[in-house]
Structure 1
Amino acid sequence: MLIVRAARRTDIDAFVQLAKEAGTGFTSLAVPPEALEARLAKSEAAFASPGTKQTEDTYQLMLEDSETGRVVGCSAVKAMVGVSKPYWDFKILTLAQHSVEADRRFDMDAMMLVNDFAGATEVGTLFVSEAGRGTGAGRLVAQSRYLLIAAGRERFGEKVLAELRGVVHDDGSSPFYDAVSRPFFRMDFAEADKLSASTDNQFILDLGPQHLIYLDLLPKAVQDVVGKTHKDGAGALRLLEWEGFHYNRYVDIFDGGPLVSAWTEQIRTLNESRAVTARAASVAGGVSGIVSTDRVDNFRTCQTQAMIDGDVVGLPYETMQALDLQDGERARFWRR
């Protein structure tokens, strides 16, 4: 059984391995092992906190094979971004050009550096290793983030965003970065990526473009990747769109990948899930779905079969055990 659970400090070795597998361009994992270790410690403290209001805590989740104990994936929820550390993106604007004398009327797109998502919650760091793919694991990890938000609604913002990796070649180069951002930052893509993940992003304010960048002046090959996701992120984008996220012409300043967002209460999994009472039961011919502990501390989710009777959900003993649920305890269920 695959379960998604709150990360622990003891996950460090598995976390480092996942970061290596993710490769160049996966910004949130492009940090040294000691930074990953610090992230686990802070996440563990966040899950254990009372959580009466929104803070800048990050909740790290791990995908685990319950039979082997092996961690095969991860994801995270940043409760609040863009406040103490600006959340920079390029916003694409359309400028209307018109001249009566020249008898010309056309539009031009331009990018502007902005921090428009201050106070929003971000879902990200979604990665499943080769060992966990092809089992519906990616969807389970993705949906678990919204069940976590539902379990501690007061901890998270009114809007949720996700930034997807843009087009990055196998050699680690980014056509968008090389044409747009490198002239400003004067460093390799990998170095800029690591600085963005490990610092307060002051270097972006110090060195980034202060004026509009006209897309029409960029090479056609670069224009074609603006707002496009990396081939390995196509599935993640489809899941986000299924949840109700939309692309509103914001892109990452380094690889040009798309940023999508949604109002929290309109996210499909969160909106369709409901609080239930969990009961151990013999389940045969029931419905399928995802069940989670409806609490932030020791948060866990998994896919399961269930019998529904009003607000009571009957779950197999193995599911109850995997989630550390007691008979009669409050849980949350999303029906597939």
Structure 2
Amino acid sequence: MTFRLRAARSADLEALYEMAKLTGGGFTNLPPDRAALKNKLERAEASFAKDTEALADELFVLVLEDARTGAVRGTCQLMSQVGQRWPFYSYRLNTLTQYSQELDRTVRAELLSLVTDLEGSSEVGGLFLHPNERAGGLGLLLARSRYLFVAMHRQRFADRILAELRGIIDERGGSPFWDGVAGRFFGMSFQDADYFNAINGNQFIADLMPKHPVYIAMLNDDARSVIGVPHPTGRAAMRMLEDEGFRAEGYVDIFDGGPTMVARTDSVTSVKNSSLRTVTAMSVAEGERAILATGRLGTFRACFGARVLDEDGGIAIDSASADLLDVCEGDMVWSVAR
């Protein structure tokens, strides 16, 4: 395999724009807007260039590149601390229990409450793989390489990390959840609101959204049925998140009702099980399948490979991975079992 993950550059703008047009909507972190994507890349380049070891409001954009051709075929993002530029809103599912002595009856009502509980967390998101490359585990490489990046720059990420999964989008490109909840107050279609959020942020939610809890029983059937349900294309991503230790804790997206998965950063499987070792050989023919990574910030690179670990803290890797990572004996490589 000749694919590797690397830090995005300004020259990747057109490739990202072409992929953004394929997302089908509801993909806030990858809007089909050149100006917005250009701003993202500029912000990411500033984050990669900021050589400090402190938690701040930073954005890191990574791209999946075919090393043979230089073609960019996928992307993902990491946000080090959400809710710093504008509030980070979620709906939280909770239950209100009430009892009537006269009727001798207990009634439990499910509510959606607008909260900023997750403010200050880190976030992994913006993962998109070109439809022609959805084979061979490249989605896994995109997803899990982000956690190696976190492990390699641990002090720049919060103690809690989240991932928002896209919710159900109907055949018209609309959202049953939006139509049943927020859309009633804004006079905007889901597509218009989602696009506006991607370009301008969600401060308009704070300005216009009612702050009172929403009783789920008062929503229509279409809206109720999609609360906390991922888009069909996101089910595999949800399973991967669960394998990493993420859990749904009752938070859902305010636009499409998709689930927000949450984990303690140090408990994420690929963070917890990763290790930094010195390359001792680059001629492994058969070894444990792994994800390998090297570099720092803007020189970050990751790929699939084979490894053999020794008791002295060394790692032997295959020659193809060594070429993709541009490492030699004596260099340091992070790895985690695939």
* TM-score with structure 1 setting the length: 0.97
- The C-alpha deviation readout for 1:66-102, integer Å capped at 9, x for no partner, is 1221111110000110122111111111000211111
Could you tell me whether the CA contact under 8 Å between 1:289 and 1:306 is conserved in 2?
A: yes
Matched, 1:53 2:66: no
Give, in whole Å, the separation in 1 of the partners of 2:310 and 2:7.
29
**Range with greater deviation from structure 2 (47-56 or 12-21):** 47-56
| Residue aligned with 2:42, SS | helix
User: Which of 322, 333, 336 lines up with 2:335 in the alignment?
Assistant: 333
Give, in whole Å, the separation in 1 of the partners of 2:10 and 2:319.
28
**Range with greater deviation from structure 2 (264-273 or 94-103):** 94-103
1:1-336 alignment runs, 5 A limit: 1-293=2-294, 295-310=296-311, 311-336=313-338
Could you tell me whether the CA contact under 8 Å between 2:59 and 2:79 is conserved in 1?
A: yes
Q: 1:129 is matched by which residue type in structure 2?
A: H
- The C-alpha deviation readout for 1:8-58, integer Å capped at 9, x for no partner, is 111011000110011211111125111101211221221122132011110
Unaligned runs of 5+ in 2: none
| Residue aligned with 1:319, SS | helix
Could you tell me whether the CA contact under 8 Å between 1:30 and 1:193 is conserved in 2?
A: no
| Residue aligned with 2:173, SS | coil
The 1:45–1:321 alpha-carbon spacing in structure 2 relative to 1, beyond 3 Å, is: farther
Give, in whole Å, the separation in 2 of the partners of 1:280 and 1:194.
49
- The C-alpha deviation readout for 1:115-167, integer Å capped at 9, x for no partner, is 11111100000111112101101111000110000111111101000111000
Give, in whole Å, the separation in 1 of the partners of 2:295 and 2:17.
29
Give, in whole Å, the separation in 2 of the partners of 1:86 and 1:324.
41
- The C-alpha deviation readout for 1:232-267, integer Å capped at 9, x for no partner, is 111111110100001011111110000010000000
| Residue aligned with 1:235, SS | helix
Give, in whole Å, the separation in 2 of the partners of 1:63 and 1:22.
16
**How far 1:316 sits from its partner (Å)?**
2.3
Could you tell me whether the CA contact under 8 Å between 2:5 and 2:142 is conserved in 1?
A: yes
Give, in whole Å, the separation in 2 of the partners of 1:209 and 1:2.
47
| Residue aligned with 2:327, SS | coil
| Residue aligned with 2:110, SS | strand
Unaligned runs of 5+ in 1: none
Q: 2:238 is matched by which residue type in structure 1?
A: L
Q: 1:62 is matched by which residue type in structure 2?
A: V
Give, in whole Å, the separation in 2 of the partners of 1:51 and 1:209.
40
Give, in whole Å, the separation in 2 of the partners of 1:92 and 1:230.
19
Identity of aligned residues (%): 38
Could you tell me whether the CA contact under 8 Å between 2:21 and 2:32 is conserved in 1?
A: no
Give, in whole Å, the separation in 2 of the partners of 1:52 and 1:219.
48
Could you tell me whether the CA contact under 8 Å between 1:280 and 1:320 is conserved in 2?
A: no
Q: 1:256 is matched by which residue type in structure 2?
A: G
Give, in whole Å, the separation in 1 of the partners of 2:244 and 2:177.
28
**How far 1:200 sits from its partner (Å)?**
3.7
Could you tell me whether the CA contact under 8 Å between 2:282 and 2:329 is conserved in 1?
A: no
Q: 1:114 is matched by which residue type in structure 2?
A: V
Could you tell me whether the CA contact under 8 Å between 1:6 and 1:300 is conserved in 2?
A: yes
| Residue aligned with 1:29, SS | coil
| Residue aligned with 1:125, SS | strand
**Range with greater deviation from structure 2 (38-47 or 112-121):** 38-47
